[in-house]
Structure 1
């Protein structure tokens, strides 16, 4: 290990410790962290699977080129340095020396090139690496990403679970990477922990990789991810000490109760890059009333957002006025947030030509929800819209696939949804509003069937602008137009919280929550 790299490791350690929260004592080596998971991963390879279930253990099994601190600043990880070309169309990564996969094979630039290609071809977030045309590997520790245009989201796309470095000598064997048997068994990773056992619906167990390239890390001996789908069971386990930590908790009554437990910390920190939002989506491509933006605006004015924030979310959620998460540096808080105004709602509906009938009803709509946590919003929306003459029928679905099939095929009027930003608008925001992304059968694409050439042009321009101030101005305009068109009525951040025992040191409080590497997490006893 070079002296330069050792120095960088020290700097990275300090920066990353800050990102995980201040450390009041010297980290302790050893111990087994018992960590709850809310659902079973489909498998453990984040290169071909998005989502928090795969991302949590996947980020421990596979390292990325970069990691981020809590201030959205990239830090070295498998790449000890990186450099843009002057025109922004090349990114050169210098990899650490001495890093190995869990089978002892060296991690080289060929693995980086292979991983980029796999993610580009197979990951659902196609925009992450769409501008990458090729990856040159002039030597074992240098990877040069060639771009068709500047790509401001590239650094974020090379962090956390978004670009796991997977071994070419394992996954380059000709088998389909999406269904590769090594995604779930005998996983050969590049991260701080290696796989011990994966039993779907029971647990994922990982243990320290002793030859991890960062000396002395990870601190923990093992992490046992217990898959506990019932929120009340997780809360009981945290309260009685059976569990050390759980992330992405959003059952507000449980959170309120656990926050009163002196042995637990309950915090919303750590989810800024995940960017979780709740919103009411409109099928603007339908032939009915929702094709008129005045109707969509009226619906927004008729819904009391403060009731959602304070009565339904119990004050544990934050107001969200746009499709960009309030934790993002690109969020525009100055757009119209559609505060409750029933008179304005009625006036807009009259103006749109939907007068009340003899029974006081203007027209009827359906509202769907596929997530149990959004059922209260759906029921409240029904009650709120009845006051302005809109008759609403609520459709509930017993499972996610049923809901997703209906919504993704545009067979709906309105639906409450939970959607993630994934760090940068290019990665997780554009997909909702791009006219090119109206794809029947694909959930969390532009299921609203919204199309505005100006929005398409702004996304195209902002997606290649590397000047931060110019880019922020573009996204400000982007959010202003969307707030007027209102294909989606954004209401609040999802109240995701991390709950952890006082025994846990350095919990993951950066920007990626449990999608952060846990090499710095430790148990105090």
Structure 2
């Protein structure tokens, strides 16, 4: 059944006139913004990114959830076991779970979904160690591994492991371009698709056959695609929107923090793990020398970026692992501003100051919003140590991505996500095996044999303490060699009305997780 967008919004606003109670209540429509623009597809099994994550995790269920303490919780899998040697993970599925067309969700669908994700999802490392999936009965799936894979549990949560129906996607068509990715979607999650209008909205409604009794609370979610941040802010202020996530522009955050009836929260993004950094191409010119890279870090006043440019909305990041992660090492060098030390390092590296200049570098301005101020500041800051920086602005995202992927840059501001476990979103940036033109991973061309060894060991180490020690040493080495100057955790914020109960701020995936327990106060 389809509903017009205007009618849905009108009904939602009318229903939200006077909510007071805090006990969960059923019914109503949540009107919110959809971050990241129009999704390419609504199927997270074949697509990453936050634009797919919000609608995708309402339409498709994953085996697990994660709480704010980074602990796995039951979802489509009601329970699970991990073998002592770490080579088998057994999932016990909800016995009354069905797809949106009424067909039962079985272990065969889990096995099929793993195969699709392994072949078509951008994050190949998530399920690469899974050699096969046994299906001893309809509600038991046994994932067999070539070696222990501590990232697997996180990879089975959020938007990373969508369980898709084999009877729909197993028809021989390309899953990545399947016609049912955006229309007539048959999902496994708490909500089913009503309407997807690219550039306008995605509307989903409660699936009455959802296995959790009494859930979801909401009747409907309207996800409006509003690319302009000022327009989103106005819509939040006037009550047209009840919630927005992944808001990171300091002006918008500051504007809304003092608005009555709105809460602005930075909680719930640890799994996404977004970090802003200055990438340095270590393969040519002066940037081949770690002393030069250290000098650049020392010439940049991170506190100015955090306080003046980011207006206090962001927290410092010292490594490529997000500060919210239990694996983060805050004790690495901070590279506080020190112009004298920076100049001394550049002298030692063999780049003397001549007529106020040592050498020239280029810096790429990302083709996504919000990074011009940082880029222009870094350009200006490096002149104080004799480095002339020329700024290149890409006309669009594909052009910028090509420049980065082909390693045709010196310096570049970038924003990269951890995606839960370092194996998924961190290792890719530092492994020497990921150096290659046309591959947007280790675009710095960074190579260190000990780092490769540490990351290889950490990827198969199931003991939490031993694993943490491996990542601790990894972060220390990278901080010393500075292929990247880490600046801040991207200040992702969820902004929600007082009418919204149980907003997605108590986990690690924000709105890239099911909203089945969100409700409207009545």
Q: Do residues 104 (structure 1) and 131 (structure 2) align?
A: no
Coordinate RMSD, CA, aligned:
0.9
2:490 maps to what in 1?
A: 494
Q: Identify which of 259, 262, 287 aligns with 1:261.
A: 259
Structure 1-normalised TM-score?
A: 0.94
Q: CA deviation at 1:394?
A: 1.1
Distance (Å, rounded) in 2 between the aligned partners of 1:147 and 1:502: 46
Q: In structure 2, what is the equivalent of residue 128 of structure 1?
A: 126
Deviation at 1:25, TM superposition (A): 2.3
- Preserved contact between residue 21 and residue 521 of structure 2 (Cα < 8 Å): no
1:37 offset after TM fit, Å? 1.5
What does 1:356-367 align with in structure 2 at a 5 Å threshold?
356-357=353-354, 359-367=355-363
Aligned to 1:78: 76
TM-score (norm 2): 0.95
- 1: distance between equivalents of 2:79 and 2:261? 40
1:474 corresponds to: 470
Partner in structure 2 of residue 240 of structure 1: 238
CA distance in 2, matches of 1:315, 1:181: 45
Paired residue for 2:409?
A: 412
CA contact (8 A) 2:190 2:207 kept: yes
Out of 324, 328, 350, the position equivalent to 1:331 is 328
Q: What SS does structure 1 have at the residue aligned with 2:307?
A: helix
Aligned ranges for residues 43-62 of structure 1 at < 5 Å? Answer: 43-62=41-60
- How far apart are 1:263 and its partner, in Å? 1.1
Q: Pick one of 358, 364, 370 that aligns with 1:368.
A: 364
Cα distance in 1 between the residues matched to 2:97 and 2:357 = 67
1:341 to 1:82, Cα distance in 2 relative to 1, 3 A = same
The C-alpha deviation readout for 1:453-512, integer Å capped at 9, x for no partner, is 111110000000010000000000000000011110001010110001110001001110
Take 2:177 and 2:252, find their aligned partners in 1: how far apart are those partners? 37
The Cα of 1:400 is off from its aligned counterpart by 1.1
SS in 2 for 1:161: coil
Number of aligned positions between the proteins: 500
Cα deviations across residues 154-186 of structure 1 (Å, max 9, x unaligned)?
100000100000000000111000000000000
In the TM superposition, 1:447-486 aligns within 5 A as 447-486=443-482
Give the aligned partner of residue 17 of structure 1. none
Aligned-pair distance for 1:442? 2.5
Instruction: Quote the Cα distance in structure 1 between the aligned partners of 2:270 and 2:520.
Output: 25
Secondary structure of 1:143's aligned partner: strand
Q: Which runs of 5+ in 1 are unaligned?
A: 1-22
87-96 or 394-403, which deviates more: 394-403
Correspondences of 1:306-455 after superposition (within 5 Å): 306-357=303-354, 359-370=355-366, 371-443=368-440, 445-455=441-451
1:174-253 residue pairs with structure 2 within 5 A?
A: 174-253=172-251
Report how far residue 319 of structure 1 moved: 0.6
Match of 1:16 in 2: none
SS in 2 for 1:427: helix
Alpha-carbon distance in 1 for matches of 2:215, 2:261: 27
Deviation, 1:24, is: 7.4
More deviation, 30-39/57-66: 30-39
SS in 2 for 1:214: coil
1:267-323 superposed Cα distances (whole Å, 9 cap, x missing partner): 10010110010000001012x000111000000000000001100111110010000
Question: Contact 2:63–2:161 (CA<8 Å) still a contact in 1?
Answer: yes
SS at match of 1:246: strand
* Aligned equivalent of 1:20: none
| Cα distance in 2 for residues equivalent to 1:363 and 1:32 | 58
Q: 1:438, CA displacement in angstroms?
A: 1.3
After superposing on structure 2, the runs of 4+ consecutive aligned residues of structure 1 that deviate more than 4 Å are none
Name the CA distance, whole Å, in 2 between partners of 1:66 and 1:179: 26
Q: Deviations over 1:12-56 (max 9, x none)?
A: xxxxxxxxxxx9721111111111023110010000100000010
Q: Secondary structure at the match of 1:387?
A: helix
The 1-side partners of 2:398 and 2:518 are apart by 35
